[in-house]
Amino acid sequence: MGRGISIDDLVDAFMGGTVYADKQLVVTRTSAPIGLRFSGEIDINNREAVATSVSAIAAGDVDVHLDVSSLIFCDISGIRAFVEAAENREKGRLMLHGLPELLQTVMRVTGWADLPNLHVCDCRTDSI
Amino acid sequence: MSMPAPRIAAFRHEALLYVGWQEFIAATVPFIRDGVKAGEPVLVVESEEKIEMLRVALGAEAGEVLFADMAQVGANPARIIPAWREFVARHAAPGRRMRGIGEPIWKERSSDELVECQRHESLLNVAFGGGEPWWLLCPYDVQKLDEAVITEAKRSHEFVTDRGTARRSDAFRGLEASGAPFDVQLPQPENAASRLVFSAADLDSVRALVAQEARTAGLKASRAAELVIAVNEVATNSIRHGGGRGTLRIWNDDSALVCEIRDHGRFDKPLADRERPSTDSASPRGLWLANHLCDLVQIRTLAVGTVVRLRMNRLPSSHLRVVPNRH
């Protein structure tokens, strides 16, 4: 999807940066909105790192936005990391942006569709 | 024909052996009517064709009956028990009985599906035995099905109705044996298989191989992605519960792309793949998901470990339907 470099991307590049990277996943901090961007694949090899990154950014009580539109693959343990991070929050939601359709199906089938603190955003990622 | 109507106190699993439409209707319509008359919730899971016939035969009473298309509910037979559980859970109340009719086995079932259907029939005893008082009648078309299928029905059902008479089945294998480890032999692959021994570090290679084989087999991109998810979950189970590693084999048979995962773990909870995940986030979800994404899941518990086969039909008629003949 030919999307040019926006001001947000530049801000993210300078203010945010990479919080985690391995051979199959890069997690970068985003500042507007506050959150993380995930690119690549999540499985049991890096789910701990995902859980740690999300709980660090979700320590406060504002809504936290996770851009998962560049997630090529995410297993149940990865979704579980998002779900548990959301459940552990007392205040503020975890917003998933750009969740691929198949992963929405996975969440519905596995009974994770309607969690109070985890919101799957219908919006397109580039308009958050 | 009159059927004795016992007041059931617990789950009653009964095979109905029928010859032709007349016998089917003559047995099922009074069964449904008695239920409706007694105020019992009734769910009928049958082919579209039979549902249509029953609606006509029942007339106004059809409005009191729930119907579901077995070709959809039970395309993968492992999805049938969750559907019955939902029905029972929704309608259970103190002193209330319920009724169901479910015909999971028909002539056009593939041999792989048939075996899983037969396992399903046994697992119904494990899922509901001794529980809520509901009466499940499972019609078997004696004219069209092999004798071996009828013989097995007598083992998986505590009661059998044959020519209008209900009897306790002498051949019933009992509650305990119904959930015994399932080790019925799986057919050998007819074609050369790709093979990959994996541990945790190789999960990305597992996914890449499945994706490549799915592409080669001509699966739709969405189905290929579903298969990748399912195989990854089963392989993850091998890593976590099956000795840290497993062997993946992939091949094509007449109708499906088959992905097989073998490991040294022991699958010993017979209903584990059809238990709806609880709200607890730690609750297992992998096999449940695989049953919802794949056309068929075959699990075997062997002395040497566990075998799981995930099948994705290549033909567009992936969800087998029995098309009624209108002429």
Determine which of B206, B229, B245, B291 to mutate to test the interface with A (most A C-beta atoms within 10 Å). Answer: B229
Domain boundaries, chain A: 7-123
pLDDT of residue A16: 62
Q: Answer for the pair B50, B100: CB distance below 8 angstroms, yes or no.
A: no
Indicate which CATH number applies to the domain containing B281.
Answer: 3.30.565.10
Q: What is the pLDDT of residue B184?
A: 96
Whether residue B149 is found in the same domain as residue B122: yes
Q: Report CB contact under 8 Å: A102, B289.
A: no
Give the strands of the sheet with A17-21, arranged side by side: A17-21, A25-30, A35-42, A64-74, A94-97, A118-121
- Predicted confidence (pLDDT) per residue in B106-128, tens digit: 999 999 999 999 999 999 999 99
Tell me the CATH number for domain A7-123: 3.30.750.24
Q: Check B282 against A41: CB less than 8 A apart.
A: no
Whether B17 and B150 map to the same domain: the answer is yes
> What pLDDT shows up at residue A15?
56
In angstroms, rounded to a whole number, what is the distance separating the alpha carbons of residues B156 and B104?
13
Q: What is the pLDDT of residues B180-206, one digit of tens each?
A: 999 999 999 988 899 999 999 999 999
Q: How far is it, in rounded angstroms, from Cα B200 to Cα B231?
A: 13
For residues B202 and B261, membership in a common domain is answered with yes
For residues B291 and B236, membership in a common domain is answered with: yes
Q: Which among B232, B233, B277 has the least Cβ separation from residue A111?
A: B277
Cα separation, B204 vs B321, in Å, equals 36
Substitution target in A45, A55, A79, A103 with the highest count of B β-carbons within 10 Å is: A45
Round the average pLDDT of chain A to a whole number and report it: 88
Alpha helical stretches, state H, B9-110: 20-37, 48-58, 70-73, 80-91
Q: What is the DSSP letter of B132?
A: S
pLDDT in tens, chain B (327 residues): 444 567 899 999 999 999 999 999 999 999 999 999 999 999 999 999 999 999 999 999 999 999 999 999 999 999 999 999 999 999 999 999 999 999 999 999 999 999 999 999 999 999 999 999 999 999 999 999 999 999 999 999 999 999 999 999 999 999 999 999 999 999 999 888 999 999 999 999 999 999 999 999 999 999 999 999 999 999 999 999 999 999 999 999 999 999 999 999 999 999 999 999 998 989 999 999 999 999 999 999 999 999 999 999 997 544 444 444 443
pTM of the full predicted structure?
0.91
The verdict on residue B323 lying in a domain is no
Query: Quick check: is B44 in a domain?
Result: yes
Q: Is B207 on the interface with A (CB under 8 A)?
A: yes
**A113 Cα distance to chain centroid:** 16
**How confident is the model at residue B317, as a pLDDT?**
47
Which one, of B291, B259, B300, B261, lies nearest residue B273 by Cα? Answer: B291
* Residues B71 and B119 grouped into a single domain: yes
Q: Which residues of chain A are within 8 Å of residue B276 when distances are taken between CB atoms? A: 111
Enter the tokens of residue B241: 């519960």
Same domain, B34 and B83: yes
Q: Which residue in B203, B226, B278 is closest to A43 by CB distance?
A: B203
Q: State the first-to-last Cα distance of chain B, in angstroms, to the nearest integer.
A: 29
- A107 close to A81: Cβ distance less than 8 angstroms: no
Neighbours of B242 (CB within 10 A): 22
Domain finish residue from B118, B143, B178: B178
In this structure, of A7-16, A71-80, B35-44, B316-325, the range with the lowest mean pLDDT score is B316-325
Give the CA dihedral B282, B283, B288, B290, nearest 10 degrees. 20
Query: Which CATH number characterizes residue B79's domain?
Result: 3.40.50.300
Residues B123 and B71 in one domain: yes
Residue A11 — very low, low, confident or very high, per pLDDT cuts 50/70/90?
A: low
Residue B327 lies in a domain: no
Q: Is B326 among the domain residues?
A: no
**Residue from A83, A109, A117, A118 to probe the interface with B (highest B Cβ count within 10 Å):** A109
Strands (E) in chain B, as ranges, are: 12-18, 42-46, 66-69, 98-102, 134-141, 159-162, 165-168, 194-199, 245-252, 256-263, 296-302, 305-313
Range of the domain at B205: 194-313
Q: Which pLDDT score is estimated for B13?
A: 98
Q: Count of domains in chain B?
A: 2
Rounded to the nearest 5°, which phi and psi values hold at B283?
A: -55, 140
- B157 with B262, same domain: the answer is no
The 10s digit of each residue's pLDDT in A18-66 is: 999 999 999 999 988 889 999 999 999 999 999 999 999 998 889 999 9
Whether residue A126 is predicted with pLDDT greater than 70 in this model: the reply is no
